Amino acid sequence: MLAVVFIFSGFVKAVDPLGTQYKIQDYLEAFGWAASVPAFLPFLASILQAMVEFCLGVYLLFGIRRRMTTLFVVLIMGVMTPLTLWLALSNPISDCGCFGDAVTLTNWETFGKNVFLLIAAASVFKWGNRITPLVTKRFDWLVAMYAFLYISGMTLYCYHELPVFDFRPYHIGADIRKGMEIPEGAKPTVYETRFILQKNGVEKEFTLENYPDSTWTFVDSQTMVKEQGYEPPIHDFSIIRQEDGEDITDEVLDDDNYTFLLVAHQLSQADDSTIDLINELYDYSVEHGYQFYCLTSSPDSDIEDWQERTGAEYPFCLMDDITLKTMIRSNPGLMLLKNGVVINKWSVNSLPDEYVLTDRLEKLPLAQINEKTFSHKVVLVLAWFVFPLLFFSMVDVIWEHFHRKKKLKENRTK
């Protein structure tokens, strides 16, 4: 049980390394350490955390390096249990993120889970010599190495492309309108988006109700909870046109034609290596009558700098930074919508090009939702993980059987 929890926890972190990075950044902000920690450290920590948890889980399952493995497991749980107690008492963040977006637990649920796992960890540490290895020492290094290579490859692939499994409410096939719905009789959470704008060197806060004219320069935005209630999976999807401050959310979601959304939560940090391809995508959308918007939470100065550097002619819209990070784990990334449904998503490293966009979207496979995608991925991921480990175990059993038979024959001969 302990092994399965560690394997699952490490796997979901590896599938979404940027999501784990964002959660670690939340921890640092809660501790007040965000400003003093190097920018690269949260991402490095997210990769190491996924690898360590996954490999420890595999080592426990196969009984590899029993003393070292059980020691590390009990040390990890010994640190995480009091940490989650502090989180439950002070509640600086809504959830610990121990299982990413796959399973969301409250802070008290997480603490209870960790107490149980700490007891299990202490048990396997005390009686670790009773764990029966599934492979001999002749092959345990092979299982250990494969576990490390598997989780490393999974992490790098999901970082370069997009998460293999998308557990967020903006996954392919998700209806954004339905994700925003509130059950009948439920009290909705009341949010307020505040915009910080500047004019003549003076900064001032505005809401949607009193958004000023275009003579003001956008600086930042923040969405806050005014009154807590039922919170739908999607609760902060609001698109504000940068040019005039108009809310075009309904216009985008009600469009029965295709709409491209270029999502770049921070343009100052966005990858500009595929600028020419993005501009070609915009030209393609204009030619075929599709809407194309760039969604960002960047200030006007960063938007202007991006336009100057890239020659971007597409319109820009403002959105909450956390929402943009949730929508797609790439900066920038591309989403394709139709009637408010997410049809497809691409990272900056896999944008469709002229060799794929050979006709109108209505006639292309990339503009159709692939219903078999999830089940196909499950089979593929399990196959790459389970079958090699089973193969190593079978070879080890056969090898051990052969040597015992050979030794028995030699003893009889003597």
Residue 258 φ/ψ, nearest 5 degrees: -75, 145
Q: Using CA atoms, how far apart are residues 243 and 260, in angstroms rounded to an integer?
A: 18
Helix (H) or strand (E) holding 46: helix 41-62
Q: Span 240-366: which CATH code?
A: 3.40.30.10
Amino acid at 52: V
Residues 133 and 67: beta-carbon distance below 8 Å: no
CB atoms inside a 10 Å sphere around CB 25:
18
- Starting from the edge strand earliest in sequence, which strands make up the sheet with 258-263, in order? 240-241, 316-318, 291-296, 258-263, 333-338, 341-347
Count Cα atoms within 13 angstroms, Cβ side, for 27. 21
Q: pLDDT at position 150, please?
A: 94
Q: How deeply is 228 buried, as exposed, middle or buried, from its count of CB atoms within 10 A (0-12, 13-18, 19+)?
A: exposed
Q: What is the sign of the dihedral through the CA atoms of 255, 241, 312 and 169?
A: negative
- With a CB cutoff of 8 Å and minimum separation 6, the contacts of 340 are 175, 176, 177, 252, 253, 254
Residues 65 and 137: beta-carbon distance below 8 Å: no
**Pairing mode, strands 316-318 and 240-241:** antiparallel
Residue 370 φ/ψ, nearest 5 degrees: -85, 105
**Of 308, 325, 391, 291, residue with least CA distance to 169:** 325
Which of 174-184 are b and which e, b meaning 16 or more Cβ less than 10 Å from the residue's Cβ?
A: bebeebbeeee
Domain residue extents for the chain: 1-160, 190-227, 240-366
Overall size of the chain counted in residues: 414
CA dihedral 218, 219, 225, 227 (to 10 degrees): -50
In a 3-state reduction of DSSP, which class is residue 372? coil
Q: What is the pTM of this model?
A: 0.83
Q: Using CA atoms, how far apart are residues 370 and 347, in angstroms rounded to an integer?
A: 17
Amino acid at 254: D
Strand partners, 223: 193
Helix (H) or strand (E) holding 226: strand 217-227
Residue 215 φ/ψ, nearest 5 degrees: -75, -15
Long-range contacts of 309-315 (CB under 8 A, 24+ apart): 309/272, 309/275, 310/272, 310/275, 310/278, 310/279, 311/275, 311/279, 312/275, 312/278, 312/279, 312/282, 313/279, 313/282, 314/262, 314/282, 315/241, 315/242, 315/243
**Of 248, 347, 328, residue with least CA distance to 292:** 248
Give, for all 414 residues of the chain, the pLDDT tens digit. Answer: 999 999 999 999 999 999 999 988 888 887 788 888 888 899 999 999 999 999 999 999 999 889 999 999 999 999 999 988 988 888 777 777 788 888 888 889 999 999 999 999 999 999 988 888 888 887 888 889 999 999 999 999 999 999 999 999 999 999 999 999 888 877 777 777 788 888 888 888 888 788 888 888 888 877 766 776 777 889 889 999 998 889 999 999 999 999 999 999 999 999 999 999 999 999 999 999 999 999 999 999 999 999 999 999 999 999 999 999 999 999 999 999 999 999 999 999 999 998 999 999 999 999 998 766 777 888 888 888 888 888 888 888 888 777 777 777 777 766
**Of 249, 242, 251, 235, residue with least CA distance to 221:** 242
CA angle 244, 246, 249 (to 5 degrees): 140
Residue 374 φ/ψ, nearest 5 degrees: -65, -50
